[in-house]
Amino acid sequence: MRARRVGVVGGGTMGAGIAAECLRAGLDVRIVGSGPASADRARTRVLGLLDRAQAKGRIDDARRADAEGRAVFGADPDALADRDFVIEAVTEDRETKLRLFTALGKTVEDPEAVLASTTSSFAVADLAAATDRRGYVIGLHFFNPVPTMPLVEVIRSAYTTDRTAARAEELITEVLGKEIVRAEDRCGFVVNALLIPYLMAAVRMYESGVATAEDIDRGMTLGCGHPMGPLAVLDLIGLDVIADVARSMEDGTGDPRHAVPPLLDRLIGEGRLGRKTGHGFHRYDTVRAAS
């Protein structure tokens, strides 16, 4: 049963990107923010992403107009009652996600609707256990920026049914046209289990004065063939976002490689969050919309 009516909870950078991709693919999408102001910001982000897709030739004028017509923005979770596929994209906070999945289990009327989380570090089984429909919960870890990043990690918990996994993979590959990797339900899955220690090591190297931010990034792009250096990656995703993920992974694993260096906390405290504020480890001429 292919997903047709999609709900996205959270209209920040990740949620807006997911919503825009679902709209571009022809789905009926409802985006629910935490309040009216959040819903308005989500509308601005999603329509901006559709404009960008149109400018790049990914959708034509008619499809752009049609996509906007299929988008509904609001702050009432009850609007998700008729959805057959709901994707959670709220802040990476365990208690927030648990409360949301408990609520979704009661709000979404279709007993076979898929409830997916974009968590990058929490156990999907824990989120599933917060609902009365454990077999229909799955992890779908998208990457930022969603419209251009081709990968999604698919994480089955011990409860996830084969049918749920098949429907989720169909949405990602056949509808959205992205690639998948399947990961076990463990802290950090595949990508972040490798990425977070690498990023924290780069911050510690810069913090200790071994090299400048520019040279650390040049070393990894020109020396290792990475498309972006680690400090530029931090700036792109957001220093605050990465710090939250690192902390949750340290809590979940006890691995000191995930510990947030003091410098990272200091930059966050100064409001230097990366591209979205115009200054992180590097400076930027344009400021991205805050998540």
Catalytic residue among 192, 248, 250, 291: 192
Question: Does 117 qualify as catalytic in the annotation?
Answer: no
Known catalytic residue: 153? yes
d(CA 53, CA 57): 6
Considering 153, 250, 258, 291, which one is annotated as catalytic? 153
> Which of the following is catalytic: 141, 250, 258, 291?
141
Instruction: Exactly one of 38, 120, 248, 291 is catalytic; name it.
Output: 120
Residue 169 known to be catalytic? no
- Tell me, yes or no, if 258 is annotated catalytic: no
What residues are labeled active site? 120, 141, 153, 192
